[in-house]
């Protein structure tokens, strides 16, 4: 796929989408061919770091046991849950937590408790915590998370497409195209037939119609 064609499609989206009172998100849609998602080798599930982050804020939560770490994480994460309180949470509270927060951290010794009581709520959403040793590492991990996009086609085994958010309309077409190419190249490396597994690629804003990459109409 040529990055210039991606840029052209994005310019079309920018030109023809209506002006909104908010900064619309941009999505890329990859459709595939010759994939059998019942075959584990044809499924993809990975994270990729994009060169031009577009997420400014993410909601973060940390599970901790050590009091010193707890104090150090105040102001770094949005919410702290103590190890001893995890088992007391109701099913409703667990679901709400999994839906309300974007990124989870946990002190090493707390991971067993998290896995036992929260694994079934966090794991399907790809939100199992990363182990955090100290507040400085936590800050770096949160910053990195703003540049990380998770890609998978496992949630719907009958789907032959992947749609993911890739930028904001306030960004230049070049920056968004670079993000798209980063994901595209990662997919090429992981799909069984590489580029031959792609059928079509589209770009769109939150509320616009898709524009096909490479379509000069």
Q: How confident is the chain (217 residues) per 10-residue block, as mean pLDDT?
A: 94 88 92 88 90 92 96 96 96 96 96 96 92 96 92 69 93 96 96 94 93 80
Return the number of other C-beta atoms located less than 10 Å from residue 191's C-beta. Answer: 21
pLDDT at residue number 171: 94
Tokens representing 116 are 């036992």
* Greatest alpha-carbon span in the chain: 62
Alpha carbon distance 80, 120 (integer Å): 20
Q: What domains appear along the chain, each with residue ranges and CATH number?
A: 3-54+147-212 (3.30.190.20), 60-145 (3.40.50.790)
pLDDT tens digits, 153-210? 765 555 688 999 999 999 999 999 999 999 999 999 999 999 999 999 999 998 899 9
Task: Tell me the H-state helices in the chain.
Answer: 3-16, 67-73, 83-86, 91-100, 111-122, 135-145, 173-190
Which pLDDT value is given to residue 38? 84
Residue 137 has a pLDDT of 96
Query: The pTM is what?
Result: 0.79
CA angle 130/135/136 to nearest 5° reads: 95
């Amino acid at each position: 796929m040529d990055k210039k064609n991606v840029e052209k499609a994005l310019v079309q989206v920018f030109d023809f989408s209506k002006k909104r009172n908010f900064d619309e998100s941009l999505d890329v849609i990859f459709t595939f061919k010759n994939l059998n998602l019942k075959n584990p080798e044809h499924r993809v599930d990975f994270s990729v770091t994009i060169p031009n982050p577009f997420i400014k804020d993410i909601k973060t939560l940390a599970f901790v046991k050590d009091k010193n770490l707890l104090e150090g994480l105040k102001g770094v994460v949005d919410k702290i849950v103590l190890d001893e309180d995890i088992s007391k949470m109701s099913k409703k509270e667990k679901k709400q937590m999994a839906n309300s927060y974007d990124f989870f951290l946990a002190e090493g010794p707390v991971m067993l408790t998290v896995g036992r009581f929260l694994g079934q709520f966090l794991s399907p959403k790809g939100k199992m915590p990363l182990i955090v040793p100290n507040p400085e590492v936590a800050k770096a991990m949160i910053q990195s998370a703003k540049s990380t996009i998770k890609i998978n086609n496992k949630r719907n085994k009958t789907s032959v497409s992947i749609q993911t958010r890739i930028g904001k309309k306030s960004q230049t077409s070049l920056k968004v195209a670079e993000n798209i190419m980063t994901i595209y190249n990662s997919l090429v490396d992981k799909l069984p037939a590489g580029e031959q597994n792609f059928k079509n690629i589209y770009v769109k804003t939150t509320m616009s119609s898709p524009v096909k990459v490479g379509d000069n109409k």
